[in-house]
Amino acid sequence: MANENLTAVLYKKKDLHLENTVIPEPGKGQVQVSIQHVGICGTDLQIYEHGCFGDLEVKEPLAIGHESAGVVSKLGEGVTSLKVGDKVALESVFGCMACSDCKKGNYNLCEDVKICGTPSTWGSMTRYFVHNAADCYKLPDNVSTEEGALMEPLTVAIHSCRRAGVCLGSKVLVLGDGPLGVMTVQAAKASGATQVGITGKHQYRLNIAKKIGADFVLNVTSKDPKEVAMIVIDAFGGKPEISIESTGVQSSIQAAIFATHNGENVTISGLRENNVSIPIVNAGFREVDIRGVAANAHCYPIARAMVASGQVNLKPLLTHMFALEQANEAFKTAETKECMKVMIKCSKD
């Protein structure tokens, strides 16, 4: 039906429904987007599996999804930056734009920050979605909407490298072989790092990391944090200057601290466990800084340029594609970890 707006709606953990919702109309400064592709992120899995994201609980039906790209299908009043038919990637993080953090440009740190697809902000795993035109980034002709959807995790990888201070000549350890970790390898290389290694527990994913530019990959299945650190130090020929932890798992964060060179930093981009135990005396006595990452800020133009120029190749990361009608199957596949990026095709054509 022409007026169908199929949407993946989560009611509670592992209770995902496919429902026809009202097709939204764009308001002033907004556009309606015919969503083409949406990736399943670790955050989506967290919400799907546990019914929450950190302290935010799913208390009412929630359209899930935030890694999205599509085609502009209708313009709201006053929109001149885009036209119907433009391919766009959608920013997913919004601040109030009035608080001190937002006024400094740190809209990702706004105390009232909203992220698409997290409680209680409607997500984009749907046929039609309304978005602020200013938060839609036009894609060049040589960039597909599949790649456009993958730009959201790439922006997090870019922001992680910025927070970590990756620069020319950096030696960088990435912990975690999921899509974010593998994209962080690419972002670190593009930022000038001369040596980038990655740890993980899934050889299938590590092989992809090696293919897209990791200098070495380390399968660390069933190894304790100090043992992992020693393997890393041996592979680098010394302690790496920067460690970027993309899993949020306690043992991996501990390994990052043990492995990182004195006076340098561990940057944590993966958000999973609310509370973890870390070797704080080890970190403190060696002056190893611990930094956090809150999504991204101002990184979409950089991500778009990297992909359009070929500096970053996202295509090898897309391993599974499902129709929107197969959303439940897609989430179950993503849970297996025997995949890299699972994506959902939202459009019918």
pLDDT tens column, 143-197? 999 999 999 999 999 999 999 999 999 999 999 999 999 999 999 999 999 999 9
Q: For position 1, what pLDDT does the model report?
A: 39
- Among 177-181, 213-217, 265-269, 337-341, the minimum mean pLDDT is found in 337-341
Q: Name, in order, each residue with C-beta under 8 angstroms of 130's C-beta and a sequence gap of 6 or more.
A: 24, 25, 26, 27, 30, 31, 32, 33, 76
CATH number for the domain formed by residue range(s) 154-292: 3.40.50.720
**Tokens 């399968």 appear where?**
219
The CA angle 110-112-114, to the nearest 5 degrees, is 95
**Average pLDDT taken over every residue of the chain:** 96
- State the average pLDDT over residues 318-339: 95
- State the average pLDDT over residues 288-317: 96
Residue 69 has pLDDT above 90, yes or no: yes
Residue 70 phi/psi, 5-degree rounding, is -165, -160
Domain residues of the chain, as ranges? 6-138+314-345, 154-292
Share of the chain above pLDDT 90, in %: 94
The pLDDT-based confidence of 2 (bands split at 50, 70, 90) is very low
Q: For position 55, what pLDDT does the model report?
A: 83
The CA angle 95-101-104, to the nearest 5 degrees, is 110
- State the average pLDDT over residues 297-315: 96
- State the average pLDDT over residues 235-246: 98
Residue 348 has pLDDT above 90, yes or no: no
Residue 23 phi/psi, 5-degree rounding, is -70, 120
pTM for the model: 0.96
- Fold that domain 6-138+314-345 belongs to in CATH: Quinone Oxidoreductase; Chain A, domain 1 (3.90.180)
- State the average pLDDT over residues 262-273: 93
- What whole-number distance in Å separates Cα of residue 136 and Cα of residue 89? 6
Q: Do the domains 6-138+314-345 and 154-292 sit in the same CATH topology, yes or no? A: no
Which neighbouring-strand residues pair with 88?
70, 138
Cα Rg of the chain, angstroms = 20
The pLDDT-based confidence of 3 (bands split at 50, 70, 90) is low
